[in-house]
Amino acid sequence: MALISVGDTIPDGTLAYFDENDQLQQVSVHSLAAGKKVVLFGVPGAFTPTCSMKHVPGFIEKSEELKSKGVEDLLLISVNDPFVMKAWKKSYPETKNVKFLADGSATYTHALGLELDLTEKGLGVRSRRFALLVDNLKVIVANIESGGDFTVSSADDILSAL
């Protein structure tokens, strides 16, 4: 699969999450992003240091500022099961507008062309770290990291692009 880039329409796919009633839900990415401006951001793994201490907290802390600039939702995707994503979400005192979405088998990550093979580190196939600014399903900013870097996909990087 080709790497997602500016001008592309994001692929549809099904992700999982636990709703406010603690019920497991399946949701289509298009149902979350159609007709809206959203940030779709991905991380290599829940509870990993850079993801947990920098990437995700940045989007939580900047969520109101992003919202004031027209971003309606912040969609976090990780190649983890929905139970891990639920526990990870609960590890933050507040998650504001960030939705924690599980891509358990990396199917959606593959559709984006953003797999990162970390088999040698015992982690299997994960997602590259990225942040996509999407307007009505079209990618208008594609900030995609190399390897495990964290240099272009922060909330501040998206804010500066708005």
Active-site residue list: 51
Residue 149, token pair as written in the block: 């870097």
Q: Which residues contact 129 (CB under 8 A, 6 or more apart)?
A: 42, 43, 44, 50, 51, 55, 144, 145, 148, 149, 150, 153
